[in-house]
Each structure stands twice: as structure tokens, then as C-alpha cells.
Structure 1
Amino acid sequence: MTAIEGSVALVTGGRRGLGRAFVEELLARGAKKVYATARTPDRSEDERVEVLALDVTDDASVAALAEHVQDVDIVVNNAGVLYPGALLTADLRQVQATFDTNVLGPLRIAQAFAPVLAGRGGGALVDIHSALSWGAGAGAYGASKAALWSLTNSLRVELAAQGTQVVGVHLGFADTDMVAALPVDKLPAAEVARIVLDGVERGEREVLVDDVTRALKSALSGPVEGLTLPIGR
């Protein structure tokens, strides 16, 4: 269980879409400061938000961020990319970029900030997965989110000794620019942030945001055909 009121948080990819919704919800719950990262930082009108440059695929960029930010209680691994397309016809450079951002990026952040969280009494690490961690049909993106799910489960074990709450988040689709072109039902980003942070405050280790996600997880024990999500078909 991690208290948000009075805390300091870091949200990667925090200047747009779901990341921005997390920043706003953290502040609404009483966080005293939020670091919001972006590849190209801008200025925030809220003095409680400090915008910092970050490229999660770059070791030096992550190291520089961790050196600058030493007072964080909550880390939200939100930054990610989505390159649509089938695996058999995918540009392998985009597949590599997907895994570097969606899998190795969160791992770089976890490695860099685990000591910071330990020094603050444990805190929380929140990783944003997807219902597509379990659902076939989303190419490299779904595969990368499946890898992140596994990574998060291992980090939960490794960080238990220092008292860090590791939260894996699964959802279908939030209404953001990233999935604007997909003809699927979408939840408002603000609602997703509210549900996730409710889970953080309750001490949960996994948050299933919507019915799509809950249905897919329940299907894991059944035939693999039940895990197919034909998005946009």
C-alpha cells in the first residue's frame, strides 16, 4: 500500500495521453510534486510539475534522469510505442524499436530507480501493460507487452525485500492519440488513471482495468484460440 498524498512521483511519457492523465490524477490526490518526462520537454503551467527530457531507449538519458531525481516515491512506467502490423511482414527495425522502448525501457527505469525507491522506504513501481499481453493479434506490440508482464512479475519478487510495491496494469484501450485510428471501444484516459491509482492506494499488485482485460485473463486457462483479438479486422 502506497500513499499518494504528499508523495513525489515520476511518470514517463507524462506529457500526453495516458501519461498526462496520470500526472493530473496524482496531483488531484495530493502528490506534492510530479516529474513528467518527454523526449522533447516543454513547460508546465503547474509549478508542481517538472518536465524533464528522457529517452527510455538511451542508457545515458536514463542515468542522467536518475542522478537528477532522487526524491521519488512512485514511478509510473508509462512511455511506450505502437507500430501496427503483422509479425510476418513487420519491419524488424520497428520490432526492435518496440522491444527497446516497451520492454528494455521500463527495465532501465526500474534498475535506475530501485535504489531511489529503497532510500524512500520502498514506494511503488507501476508498469503499464495491456490486455494484449495475453491476446494474440497485435503483432510486436502485444509481444512486447507480454514480455513486460513477465518482467514485472520477476521485478515484484526481486524488489520485495526492499518493500517496493510493484503494480502490473492491464487494460484494453485508453482514448489516446496512440490508438486513435483503431476502431475499438476506448476508456477515457482519466478513468484509467483513477482506477490504477485506486489500486496503488489499496496495495494491489495487479490492476485489471476493464471487462476486456478480465475476460482475457480468465481465458488463459482455456484453449489458445480464445486469446485472439482481431483488432481492426
Structure 2
Amino acid sequence: MTTPASLAQSFPHGIAGLLASNTTADSVRFNQKCLSATASIINEATLSSGAPITQLTVDDISNQISTSTNTLFLCCYESPAAMTKMADNFAIESHRVHVVSSTTHDVHYGNRLMTSLTNQVGLDPNRSNYAVYSMVHTMGIDANWKTSNIQGRQIDHSPIKLAPPANGDFGFKSAVSFIKKNELFYLQFNAISLKYSSNNWGDNSLIYTVNGEAKITDTNGNEVDVVCHHSLFPIGVG
């Protein structure tokens, strides 16, 4: 049987990974989005007798494998790297701000950005909940061209158009703008995680501004994350 002691013996220099928290008696949901069709399973037979590594099919929508979870094993799979990092809120350089929202399982339509901003992996196969844009009514900036938290001067937008999710109960929305650091342009994301409950997303059509990360309570009473991130790499020269 695979145990922490046997893993330590097999990998004396340690293992970099995450303990899967979403498990049932017959399935494991991954903490990160799996990009491959299969995942490699390393268990006691692999470690003790050199048995072939098992390949299990990954459900692209639910991001999980079907297998018994009454033993300890390692799941190895390909996942996308983060594309943003937490940052302080900068003065914006753009004269227009866009608001995008998504709940999708598809990495081409918002899933990768969602995971990078909220550490949640979208599970929704509903195509109408791919990258969805909302019209900005008020820019909401202060005298220093930073997005504002002053009541009545925040970024407000038309109601998000996300339908009830077909799978999962979470998503995100974010204002996207340009900022400048060291004469280079980056994208700034003022984002809020969304949770579906009481037959709605609990969203009040406002964007909140923080340095790094904070918590707010949505209109359904759920505690959700508010973050400010910048793109990892510059997108232009200022």
C-alpha cells in the first residue's frame, strides 16, 4: 500500500504537488485544469515492482478521473501556467475599460484566466457562458487615474449576462485595462469571483478596487474574493 513513508522513500528529495480536496468514493477532481486527455497514475505497484504507469481518461468538463480513492497515489498531468500575478492597483493608461465574465470549462474562452485570477477551475460546458462582455456605464476613476472605490464613482456596468451554470456554481468577472510599469504596458485585472446561489449570481454590477486581495459579501450573502492582478508579461512599450 502506498503511504507517505513509502513515497518519501521513493522520492527522497520531495514532491511538488497539491493534495486533491474534491474527491468521492470513485472519482478525483483536479486542483488545476488538465489539458491532456489522460493523467498518469503512480501507485504502490509502480513504486515497488516497476509496474507500468496507469493512464486514466480525464473528463474535460468536470476535470476529473474515475478511480477508487481509498489508496494514496500520485496524479501527473499537464496544466496551464498562471498568466497573471497579484499586484497593487495602478493608474490606468487606457481611456476605455472592458468588463468580461465567464464560468467556462474551456481554456480558450476564459477558463485559464479564471484559474489565474481566482484559483478556481471552471466546470461549465454552457457555450453561452464563454467569455461574455458587459457594457461599462461609468469609468469610475479618481484624480490619479486609478479605479475608484468611492460610492457613486466606481466602475459600473450592465448586468452580467451569465446564464445559470450547467455544471459547477462559480465563475468570475473582471474589469480589464492598460497600465504602465517601467515604460512597459501591462494588462490590469480588477476581478471578483462569482458564486451562483438563490437562482442568481449575486452581482451588483460594480467593480471593486483593492491592492492585492480582499473579501466582500455579494448580494446573496456569500463571501467572495476581490483581487487586482497584472499580466505576467508586457504587451507593449510605452
TM-score calculated relative to the size of structure 1: 0.29
Higher helix proportion: 1
Structure with the bigger percentage of strand: 2
TM-score (norm 2): 0.28
The structure with the larger Rg is 2
